[in-house]
Structure 1
Amino acid sequence: MNKFSLLGIMAAVGLLAGCASPTDEIRGMQPTGVSFTEALATEYRDFALFETDQMYDFGDGRYFAQKGLAAADGEVVLPESLENWDLPDSAIGDLSAGRTRLVQLLDANGRTTAPGLAAHAQARFDCWVEQQEENHQAAHIAACREEFLAALAELEIAMAPEEEEAVVVPIEPEEFRIFFEFDRYQLADSINGQEIIDQVLAEVQELGMPAISLIGHADRAGPGDYNFGLSLRRADAVRQALIDGGVPADRISVAGRGEEDPLVPTADDVPLQENRRVEILIQ
């Protein structure tokens, strides 16, 4: 990985100067800077020491300790770039979609609006990348991914604009469904995608930009982890189509259910079009 070239240089300089390693330094660091960089430094410290002390992964421990020290000095440290890691092709789509959403929130003042959540989301994303490259501890990969997605969802909620209190008569959400071809997620691969998108956009205009929830689903054919990512990609494709149609991004929430909660219950490994869907709730 490209990051280890940098680590090698830093390690050589540290040895020549008689300095402690980044892992040793971060144990007693005193973060400075704004709330976000302080929180991020703490997140990276915990991650680096976990990799060093519990997983005995000294290389990644040093690398993330260096990121933590940079954050502790008040520097802006970015989420990992995927091209610097040797990742399996099957994981790149989910990681790329996650990083895009994270960077959009960070660039939309997420670092100042909710610094703790933003720092946690970034560190958990980097954890997901690191574990996915190793690609041999499924439980660790899933834990980092789920913690990242949960933090991302909380960050989206925290950044949603506050609305004035008003007396509102509760209404039942209106629901639309888009169905997809087997193992596909682009809107062009859907059965009724553009037709439903047009209906949703018309409804949204009439209601004055209400909140929209997108929930992606997959059928039960294939591995559960893969189906979870596939369901998220389907929901993200619908989200982008709505944004392209003029719906503000902050009015849309996205979730994936994988092969859980099928519209039509089936046995495992059964492909069924009714279960390959994105549910669109307007409320």
Structure 2
Amino acid sequence: MKKLTLLPVAFAVTLTMAACSSTPTTTTQLDQARADFSAAQSNPTVAANAPLEFKAASDALDKANTAAAKKESLNEIDKLAYIAKQKIATAQEAAKAKQAESDVANAARQRDEVRLQARTAEANNAKAAADRARSQADQAKADAEAARAQADIAANSARDEQAKNAALQQQLADLQAKQTDRGIIITLNDVLFNVDRAELSAEGMRTAQKLADVLLQEPQSVVLVEGFTDSTGTSSHNLDLSQRRAESVRNALIGLGVPSNKIATRGYGEAYPVASNTDAGSRQLNRRVEIVLSQNGAPIANRR
């Protein structure tokens, strides 16, 4: 795969700002985003294994740099810098996941080679036994063939199950799923929705597709979609928005083939914040949708 050269794109705005006579606005958040991008860019596996995600990270950083060059509000710069940091992290995680997928494939090939060697040795032993006991050769050959067929069936079944489990774990890793005492929780960030709207963005629909793929492989699981907002606006508006966002995710999953009776929704508004709500970055963390997957069909415990 051809390596993408993103340095001129990601730092073009920075170089432009440096040429200006006035000093552009910057923030700690933006400096951190620039440092994170530089670290990701210095790792050749990121651009090689996650070119689309890396390009998205570069574009997001360009927006933050442009806002700084225009001396927009610190909150706006921080918001854009936070989005850039998230996209940079996503690119790094996607590259790690691609590398892990390659490692799994290599391990599978090695297992196949070991099995082939074992089957070859078994065939040689069967031939030697037939030579030593010609009167029993036909029966021994039939027994060996039957045993080999059963071994192939068992090996194929085990390999298919391993591949299915590995694929499922990889999908959960792509969604950054976390194991909790309530079940597996997947968080959809605010950037997957349009501002102050409940409709999923294009990126949000792609995430919903990944989530649907997981649910369709887990027929025993039930799902609770929980919506949350920050503390901006009235409580009634926030409660309604959180419920509508949860319903939007539910409807997307149903449209992708997940049975409707497996999915429940609940909006909490500004309750259960995960950050302080004192700045744009914290408020963005609180604007989220969490998907809780039960295990083995067990009921999902209420929030405490």
Q: TM-score, normalised by structure 2?
A: 0.34
Write 1 or 2 for the structure with the bigger share of helix: 2
